[in-house]
Chain A
Amino acid sequence: MVLLWGSNAREAHPIYFHHVLKGLDNGTKMYAVDPRRTSSTKFADAWLGLNVGTDIALANAVGREIIAADLHNKEFIAHATQGFEQYQAAVEEYTLENTETITGVPAEAIREMAHVYAAAGTAQILWTLGITEHHNAVENVLSLCNLALLTGHVGRWGSGLVPLRGQNNVQGGGDMGSLPNKFPGFQDIGDPTAQAKFEATYGMRLPAKPGLHLTLMFEAMERGEIKGLYVIGENPADSEADVAHARKVLSGLDILVVQDILMTRTARSADVVLPAAVGWAESEGTVTSSERRVQRVRPAVSPPGLARQDTDIIGDLANRLGVDWGNPTPQELWDELRSLSPMHAGMSWERLESAGGLQWPCRDLEDPGSPFLHGWLWAEDLEGREPAPFSVCQHEGPKEKLSAEFPLRLTTGRALDSYNTGVQSGGFASPIRYGDSIDINPTDAHALGLADGQRVRVCSPRGSIETKVRIQPDIPVGLTFTTFHFPELIDVNQLTNPEWDRRSGTAEFKAAAIRIEHLHSNGAKPMTDDPALDLERTTEPANG
């Protein structure tokens, strides 16, 4: 049984979805939870179209129903978990009827999904940003983890919790310590053993206090505490929530350095641009996929013009700053990582080549790698660990409530043929491109007197943009949707809500309140939806 929750994998992770489809062909049941009737939900046995931001209520109701129907795995709960009584008490108020009112999902559909999930021999919960791009992202995730703990659908072959990663190396970035509170291999900054090990290898004192994540960096920039920013392969001038504010903050920096493969909006506003080689097609190295599989990337073409390898640029920069890091090869850098990160220790360059990829943890050269984590939950002694805790999570809903002034909900997501701010996917002429408009239900369009393709003004408490309307019966009444792939055409992040989760640092991209206005002939811009995009590869460094 597959519970697809806040994920449009058919479009955002198409090849992963092939595996899901194979399961469905073999008789697996799928329940899809999403505010939109996405192309993924159309493959499901049932689509539960919940109101945006009511995931915790729905998850708690599923949990309550499983307990009420006596379908929870009492043996597993006693063996491997803690905090069940508190959880049971906390979900008590989430009756099917109450939850139908909160979520808009019929009580019978919730009941059915709960029973099918609990009774399944194996079951997986798959999610993506529909769960994590909320101000209470971590609680959303924990409310799903509760269901796995309740039923024992975790840590076993075929069962588990599956967050699908959105970028080819976002997992690898974390693995390598590109997190403010971690060394490579998820070892804690400030942990004396780890601190001593890394300081000995790097030959210098390292800060023992965690740094700032991106959201906190923006706050520090705003306060003037950070005056310079070095951006590598990120386009925050298009991708941040409340992006007009983010652009203002970036423009107030003393210096902005951007290292990228294309002249993004962020690069265009930089003081210095360092043209870089394309990671997956012009460089040697590794990336780590959603299933913790480390795989080699290899150069197929040479970088154009003056574009250089990221490692060379960083090494030269260090040199100018007075530190000599030598000229290590990608393999030497990898071997250094293996010497410092126990979970990568068994992944020799040669094994990565011959095995076609290995999944961490892979602790020594004999270790075949780990297809799934959390098998310890089933070990007799829990491998010496503490039992897994249930979490009490309460429904809160989106930070920004709908109002008379802003009566429609806006949510964002990906389209099949596009990617993030469109920097890369804008490079090919897709015949099926969509997402440069705001999708609205026919009923709402009728009430507002809007025709398909009509240009409108969309306003949120943070700003307003001009775009066109696409009438879409798959969007429920009261909801609107657009992608974030075409900031030149629909600058949606001027509308999105920057309220962010205190634990993950992620903004509430999925839930803003908006209104749609007719354009008046006075002051309306001429109708055009085709501004030229200048995203050709940079061949020369730009200064000034």
Chain B
Amino acid sequence: MTITEVSVSLTINGRAVSVPQGTSLLAACESIGIETPTLCWAENLTPVNVCRVCVVEVEGSRALVPSCARAAEENMVVHTESPRVRHSRKMVLEFLGSSTDLSQASDLAVWMRHYQADPNRYGQTDVPAERIVEEPKVQDDLYVRDYDKCVLCYKCVEACGDDAQHTYAIAVSGRGFNSRISTEFDTVLPDSACVYCGNCIGVCPTGAIQFKTEFDMRAVGDWRPESQDVTTTVCSFCGVGCNLELHTQDNKIVKVTSPADHSVTHGHLCIKGRFGWQYVQPPTVSPRD
């Protein structure tokens, strides 16, 4: 999206706002301190408009519009807390929560409370709402796919594809409730086109794709984000200068990310940067299969 110096004026929740032409409604809201729940949006990905959790009401528009993808226009009148918006956001969160495990989507928990979303009101006492219940796919030592947590936000597909990696190892297969993010022919990850950049992990909002280290530590109750530190440094594996955020717990690296606003990486890494740190500390896996 090209942002030019031409500005547009609009009204959000009764307040006059002026933003550069091309600014999304999401960013326009943020510019005046209005927070918006998002799930499929990320600053380093192109909006795909699938989750509908960021919708706002634009006067004159028949349907609610996704604020992440809709650009601000001159004289727009926008409402972010109208009954329609609150009702829609609440139901989107409830539907997601009734069918998937959002326990690791920490950002969403805040919004669930905000909109008093109650996923349990779906289904009946003796017939609970349908949920995705699958064994996590553990197919290598680097990362794990846990479909119970997948909300089909497409972020991983975008990061694997046009928005960063251009590997196109995953896409959505199946229909309706049986839709799943899948490798080609659902082949195991090591046999797929995957190159293990882990950029899908970097953008996953719910923990459906996560580091094997994190998965294993959670399994034994040893994953303690509150006692973790994050240190920004530079990757050691080539001359590009990718910034790494080393997440450490008890003097051990447990996870690696990159800042989405870093001009070199835009939050994306390769297999070496994301997983190649293990030589720094005594290995938890054998050096070579």
Determine which of B162, B231, B275, B288 lies in contact with A25 in the assembled complex, contact meaning CB atoms within 8 Å: B162
Q: Which residue of B lies closest to A426 (CB)?
A: B287
Stretch at the interface among A178-186, A287-295, A334-342, A466-474: A287-295
Q: Which residue of A lies closest to B252 (CB)?
A: A301
In the complex, how many angstroms separate the beta carbon of B275 from the nearest chain A beta carbon? 5
Q: Which residue of B lies closest to A279 (CB)?
A: B236
Q: A300-B253, A301-B248 are in contact. Are A426 and B279 (CB under 8 A)?
A: yes
Q: Which residue of A lies closest to B230 (CB)?
A: A300
Measured CA separation A424–B237 after assembly (Å): 9
Determine which of A171, A304, A430 lies in contact with B281 in the assembled complex, contact meaning CB atoms within 8 Å: A304
The interface bits of chain B over 177-198 (1 if a CB of A lies within 8 angstroms of the residue's CB, else 0) are 0000000000001100011110
Q: Is the CB of B233 within 8 A of A429?
A: no
Q: Is the CB of B279 within 8 A of A280?
A: no
In the complex, how many angstroms separate the beta carbon of A262 from the nearest chain B beta carbon? 7
Q: Is the CB of A280 within 8 A of B278?
A: no
For chain A, residues 27 to 61, give those with C-beta under 8 angstroms from any C-beta of chain B.
43
For chain A, residues 491 to 544, give those with C-beta under 8 angstroms from any C-beta of chain B.
530, 533, 535-537
Measured CA separation A215–B141 after assembly (Å): 40
* Residue B126 CB within 8 A of the other chain: no
Q: Is the CB of B231 within 8 A of A299?
A: yes
Q: Is the CB of B197 within 8 A of A14?
A: yes
Q: Is the CB of B238 within 8 A of A287?
A: no
* Residue A164 CB within 8 A of the other chain: yes
Q: Is the CB of A301 within 8 A of B280?
A: yes
Q: Which residue of B lies closest to A165 (CB)?
A: B239
* Residue A357 CB within 8 A of the other chain: yes
Q: Is the CB of B265 within 8 A of A15?
A: yes
The interface bits of chain B over 213-251 (1 if a CB of A lies within 8 angstroms of the residue's CB, else 0) are 000000000000000010111111111111110101001
Measured CA separation A268–B248 after assembly (Å): 30
The interface bits of chain A over 424-442 (1 if a CB of B lies within 8 angstroms of the residue's CB, else 0) are 1111111111000000000
* Contacts across chains A and B counted by CB atoms under 8 Å: 184
For chain B, residues 127 to 143, give those with C-beta under 8 angstroms from any C-beta of chain A.
139-142
A21 / chain B contacts, CB cutoff of 8 Å: 166
For chain B, residues 91 to 111, give those with C-beta under 8 angstroms from any C-beta of chain A.
none
Q: Is the CB of B264 within 8 A of A297?
A: no
Q: Is the CB of B234 within 8 A of A297?
A: yes
* Residue B77 CB within 8 A of the other chain: no
Q: Is the CB of A168 within 8 A of B243?
A: no
* Residue B282 CB within 8 A of the other chain: yes
Q: Is the CB of A300 within 8 A of B287?
A: no
A-B contact pairs, 24 of them (CB 8 A): A13-B238, A15-B240, A18-B166, A164-B239, A168-B234, A171-B239, A289-B264, A290-B241, A293-B264, A295-B241, A295-B243, A296-B233, A298-B233, A300-B253, A301-B248, A301-B252, A419-B237, A428-B278, A428-B279, A428-B285, A429-B140, A429-B285, A430-B275, A537-B282
Chain A to chain B: the 3 pairs with minimum beta-carbon distance, closest first: A165-B239, A289-B241, A427-B279
| Beyond known contacts A18-B268, A281-B253, A427-B276: 11 more, CB 8 A cutoff | A279-B236, A289-B234, A289-B240, A298-B232, A301-B280, A417-B271, A426-B279, A427-B287, A429-B287, A431-B140, A537-B282
